[in-house]
Amino acid sequence: MRSAVSLRGVSFGYQPGRYVLRDVDFEVETGGYTAVIGPNGGGKSTLLKIMLGLLEPWTGTVEVLGLPPARARHRIGYVPQASGAVLDFPVSALDVVMMGLPGGRSTKRARSAALSTMERLGIAGLSGMHAGSLSGGQRQRAFIARALVGSPEILLLDEPAASVDPEGQESFYELMAELNRTVTIVMVTHDVGAVSNHVKTIACLSTVMVSHGESLETEAVARAYGCSVDLVSHGTPHRVLGKHEGRGGND
Ligand SMILES: Nc1ncnc2c1ncn2[C@@H]1O[C@H](COP(=O)(O)OP(=O)(O)O)[C@@H](O)[C@H]1O
Ligand SMILES: [Mg+2]
């Protein structure tokens, strides 16, 4: 089966000589559902931007849907990491969802596509609401609707559950499972405990790919947990990296 996402030997940094990703292999099969976990600054958001073709790796190859990522971008839905920016300008929830369409314009067709996506996510009733007055969970669904409105084959989400209250989490994971029937999902998250019950594979990234495997395999899950346990016990990503210097650490 062809992979939806395939990275081979990818290295990248924002400054010369400072690796953010080092020799990373990463594979998501079509229909897959993968969580990417790891310490702060481990390169998770950077990895998503490389899959979107927004950043060009120093070395290695990236294929998305069998194509160079920039050419596949219109077939990828992306929910960026919440910036904390206030949605203070006068846009409705419906406007936010329509931004996910090429041109982002408020044509009749765009409106009806946006509305039916919002219906699917159970937020059609919010369409006229000022985007800035949505709750965390409602805003999250509006951003997911924006990512889905163009009918992508792959959905990339960067810490989507961060701003959702605990009661909202379970219905969020139910929604993801339902979407995963038709869309390949890659989700960056801190919430290892929650995701390990839901996703099909887990990748633990700390500049190097520490582990990458089926979430149901206890050993892989344990090692994945180890990745975040290390973070708690040692404090800094560099100490975590120290353990893996055999495969290439930073600095
Ligand atoms: N635009 C940028 N310019 C320079 N450094 C950056 C930029 N974005 C991220 N970084 C750095 O790259 C590293 C990885 O960041 P990021 O991919 O956001 O990690 P994560 O999402 O795992 O927390 C961090 O050290 C961060 O400070
Ligand atoms: Mg991030």
User: Thinking of the domain 3-247, which architecture would CATH place it in?
Assistant: 3-Layer(aba) Sandwich (3.40)
Q: What is the pLDDT along the chain (251 residues), one digit of tens a residue?
A: 679 999 999 999 999 999 999 999 999 999 999 999 888 899 999 999 999 999 999 999 999 999 999 999 999 999 998 766 666 778 899 999 999 998 756 789 999 999 999 999 999 999 999 998 988 888 889 999 999 999 999 999 999 877 777 777 888 889 999 999 999 999 998 777 777 778 888 888 889 887 777 765 545 555 555 565 433 333 333 222 223 333 333 43
pLDDT of residue 137: 85
Q: Are 157 and 188 in contact (CB under 8 A)?
A: yes
C-alpha to C-alpha distance for 172 and 93, rounded to whole angstroms: 18
Is the separation of the CB atoms in 179 and 99 below 8 Å?
no
Q: Which residue has the tokens 């990417």?
A: 36
Write the residue with the smallest CA distance to atom 25 of ligand 1.
Answer: 41
Three-state secondary structure call for residue 36 = strand
pLDDT at 210: 75
**Using CA positions, which residue lies closest to atom 27 of ligand 1?**
41
pLDDT number for residue 227: 61
Helix (H/G/I), strand (E/B), else coil: 186: strand
Give residue 71's pLDDT.
95
Mutation test residue for ligand 1: of 21, 44, 46, 54, the one with most atoms within 8 Å of CB: 46
CA of 163 from ligand 2 middle (Å) equals 14
- Rounded to whole angstroms, the Cα distance separating 51 from 68 reads 9
Spell out the domain ranges in the chain: 3-247
Instruction: Give the HSE-up count for residue 79: Cα atoms under 13 Å, Cβ half-sphere.
Output: 29
Q: Whole-prediction pTM value?
A: 0.86
Cβ count near 25 (within 10 Å): 14
With a Cβ cut-off of 6 Å, ligand 1 is lined by 14, 20, 38, 40-46
Nearest CA to ligand 1 atom 18: 45
